[in-house]
Structure 1
Amino acid sequence: MKNLCILLFSSLLIVSCSSSVSKNTNDKRLLTEEINTIYNQKKFNGFAVSIVDEKGTLYENGFGLSDVENNKKYTAETIQNIGSVSKTFVGIALLKAQELGKLKLDDSIDKYLSFKVVNSKFTDAKITIRELATHTSSITDNEFYSSKNYYLKSNQNLTGLKMSFDDDQTFNPSDSIVSMKSFFENVLTKNGKWNKDSFSAHKPGTIYEYSNVGTTLAAYIIEQATGQPFKEFTKKYILEPLKMKDSGWKFEDIDFSKFSRLYENPTTPLPYYELITYPDGGFITNVNDLSKYLTELIKGYNGNGTILTKESYVEYFKPQLSESNFRERNTKNPYNESYNVGIFMGFGYTGYIGHTGGDPGTMSMMFFDPKTNLGRIMIFNTNFSDKEGNKAFFDIWNAMENIRVN
């Protein structure tokens, strides 16, 4: 679903980019006023934004409501899941595990799995970790990714809430959750009961095909290689060094009182949920913490990072693919991160580096411009599917680009 959400608002981007009414300004107060004006169109219930550079956060603010029913404000401290921006953490974790000597990107995934993952159309082709990290593994997201992956947070009031999203995503009972390993055995192995259309018709290593399941398999391999749960590994090597104190992967890891209600649209609240495949889109954070992370990424791009070596950051940000790896390349949308890819890090055709995210009730963007070292983040608690919502979304994004901050 994360990829479908991204494609939806990406397909409308041309309209919004060409119609932004933002004006250059050097006043943060005027930026806040401009964003408030856009918010007052009531296309979203709540969101937060930030602008960062290599030195830190230049601007951050929250707008609207995190809980409409209880009139609770959405602030820079409000937390929620951020969709596929989460994948960038998997890339950092892979390279940290490689630094520690626990794995190599060009290892076959067979080395770390107790079950067999093979594309039946290419039985002699070994899938590598690098192919997972560049979405060229031939592993696809089948119908069971949406129907079996999302499950409800336990002990919540479900009165009046929908048990599905966008018709094809089901929120399953909390007691029906299976382990990540069981999910993979059902989806990816020859005799798995959910293995329909789990692989594409392309040989592993040849064609870019965005894969949430492949992303999570990479995180599972980190667990097998290091002997640590993925969430604990990332806490030790990413969150704690960057002082991301309000962030985590599970409800038990965060202060739930700060968590935003999520909305299918401004009038339809959704239940609280988690994912079996949480590494592909379930990172919980706020704009304050995510700004620290983006500042670190900009530092790393420029050779000054702190959580990976210079060599690892070079690999992380190195475009891994060529024209032949794409069936079709998007050269119209500057914020489609699939023009090329690093190690779970995306590149737009204009050179912007980062990722987008979408999930039930979640829309997010995180990019920086390597020419200016300025980065932007937006995190929304409301989905949209119309041109007006798309325009408002990118008017906010463009307003942040146009401001001149010191």
Structure 2
Amino acid sequence: MKSTFIKQLSLIGLIFMISCSSSTTPFQQNISIGSTNTIVSKIDSIIASKMNVYNIPGISIGIVRSDSIFYTRGYGLKSIVEKDTISENTVFHTASISKLLTAQMIMQLVANNKLRLNDRLIDIIPNLKYTNEQVKFITIKSLLNHTSGLPDINNYHWGNQNREKNSLKGYVLSTKLKLRHTPSTKYNYSNLGYDILGYVIEEVTKQSFESVIQHYVLNPYKMKSSSFNYFSIPNSKTTHPHSKWFDNSIYIRKVYPYTREHAPSSTLNASSKDLSYWMLNILRDLDTKSELKQMIIPSFKDYKNIGLGFQLYNLNDKRAIGHFGGDKGFRSFLLMLPEHQTGIVLLANCDYNEDFRQDIVAAIVTLLLD
């Protein structure tokens, strides 16, 4: 990708040249067409305003309500240079939203008696390297809820763009595991822990992480544009990563954040439409699948905001579940309110320090539910 920048990209004009189509799937039946049109217009206004305030190149959103897709749309540009517009089918790097699908797959294995939450990691991967004997007490559950004691990753080496089949295995088995604390005693967010969970999936199924997720999650959930393998997605569907210089001018990053060993924690590439299908399926199944129920309740007594994969929130005094995501050039936020059968996903092709994600999503939640 070419590296370039512009001075204070103004998005006011861009909002009116966006190419984006709203979903044609059924709206929530108890909302009149007139009311729906008013809500949609207000959503568009919220996003247009926030994009201008934060100087955001491009956003895509998906909203589900009461068992159907309510609205999906893209706003702005894939690239500040090429000027291609974003739609609901444009694919973004979703960063840590990836962890939700990795956790979901682990819980499917638990439901099928292929794994147990209390299984020790060392029993599944006996040839791990480690510096502390307490690594032997890391469990599947402690990896899922970030209480394993493993540190986070300091450098993802995105520039490697590794595509090798055994790169996840090589990464996990060559990393000498250190601990920040005794397993299952504290909460400390760890991307490394989720990459290891991806290798657990490989060890249990004897298939690659990507193929397992494709077969058991992406395909059944109609996520046709999505993949954990960036290089399998046509360039025409993807968007470019953007950042800001110190003077607030915007530039396109040279490197897209992908390397195969970090797929389980970070490299789901998906569209807002695909993630809307995912949210629909999760919301439908929460009451009937015990493995999903376990994912959305507090799982650690000293930190009530983590389930098994899902982050747990209180948004506008409403119980919510989901996950934030952020890597170089991208930000994302997926949020669901189970009691209201509502879900929102926001994907953006910029990595600004200002947390525009929560600002936008909170405003939409207020509009929809208050």
Distance in 2 (alpha carbons) for counterparts of 1:178 and 1:68: 36
Alignment of 1:358 onto 2:326:
yes
- Tell me which residue corresponds to 1:382: 350
Distance in 2 (alpha carbons) for counterparts of 1:103 and 1:342: 18
Determine if contact 1:246/1:255 at 8 Å carries over to the other structure. no
Distance in 2 (alpha carbons) for counterparts of 1:27 and 1:138: 45
**Shift in CA distance, 343/404, structure 1 to aligned 2, threshold 3 Å:** closer
- Tell me which residue corresponds to 1:321: 300
User: Offset of 1:374 from its aligned partner?
Assistant: 1.4
User: Offset of 1:318 from its aligned partner?
Assistant: 2.9
Distance in 2 (alpha carbons) for counterparts of 1:82 and 1:103: 27
User: Offset of 1:91 from its aligned partner?
Assistant: 1.1
Listed as ranges, the gaps of 5+ residues in structure 2 are 1-35
- Could you give the per-residue CA deviations for residues 132-167 of structure 1, whole angstroms, max 9, x where no partner exists? 111111111253xx1xx333xxxxxxxxxxxxxxxx
Distance in 2 (alpha carbons) for counterparts of 1:345 and 1:71: 35
What one-letter code is carried by the residue in structure 2 that aligns with 1:400? I
- Root-mean-square deviation over aligned CA pairs: 2.5
Alignment of 1:6-405 (within 5 A): 26-41=38-53, 43-118=55-130, 120=132, 122=134, 125-143=136-154, 146=155, 149-151=156-158, 171-172=159-160, 179-189=167-177, 198-200=178-180, 202-265=181-244, 267-270=250-253, 271-275=255-259, 276-303=261-288, 310-323=289-302, 326=303, 339-349=304-314, 351-385=319-353, 389-390=354-355, 392-404=356-368
What one-letter code is carried by the residue in structure 2 that aligns with 1:227? K
Determine if contact 2:172/2:199 at 8 Å carries over to the other structure. no
Determine if contact 1:26/1:404 at 8 Å carries over to the other structure. no
**Shift in CA distance, 378/107, structure 1 to aligned 2, threshold 3 Å:** same
Say which SS state the counterpart of residue 97 (structure 2) adopts. Answer: helix
**Shift in CA distance, 316/394, structure 1 to aligned 2, threshold 3 Å:** closer
What number of residue pairs does the alignment pair up? 325
User: Offset of 1:359 from its aligned partner?
Assistant: 0.4
Determine if contact 1:119/1:138 at 8 Å carries over to the other structure. no
Determine if contact 1:53/1:298 at 8 Å carries over to the other structure. no
What one-letter code is carried by the residue in structure 2 that aligns with 1:243? K
Distance in 1 (alpha carbons) for counterparts of 2:358 and 2:308: 27
Say which SS state the counterpart of residue 66 (structure 1) adopts. Answer: coil
User: Offset of 1:184 from its aligned partner?
Assistant: 2.1
**Shift in CA distance, 59/320, structure 1 to aligned 2, threshold 3 Å:** same
User: Offset of 1:366 from its aligned partner?
Assistant: 0.6
Distance in 1 (alpha carbons) for counterparts of 2:152 and 2:236: 33
User: Offset of 1:371 from its aligned partner?
Assistant: 2.9
Distance in 2 (alpha carbons) for counterparts of 1:100 and 1:119: 33
Distance in 2 (alpha carbons) for counterparts of 1:142 and 1:211: 7
**Shift in CA distance, 253/102, structure 1 to aligned 2, threshold 3 Å:** farther
Determine if contact 1:108/1:127 at 8 Å carries over to the other structure. yes
What one-letter code is carried by the residue in structure 2 that aligns with 1:150? H
Determine if contact 1:136/1:207 at 8 Å carries over to the other structure. yes
User: Offset of 1:111 from its aligned partner?
Assistant: 2.1
Distance in 1 (alpha carbons) for counterparts of 2:161 and 2:210: 23
Normalising by structure 2, we get a TM-score of: 0.81
User: Offset of 1:395 from its aligned partner?
Assistant: 3.9
- Bigger RCO of structures 1 and 2 (CA < 8 A, at least 6 apart): 1
The sequence identity of aligned pairs, in percent, is 23
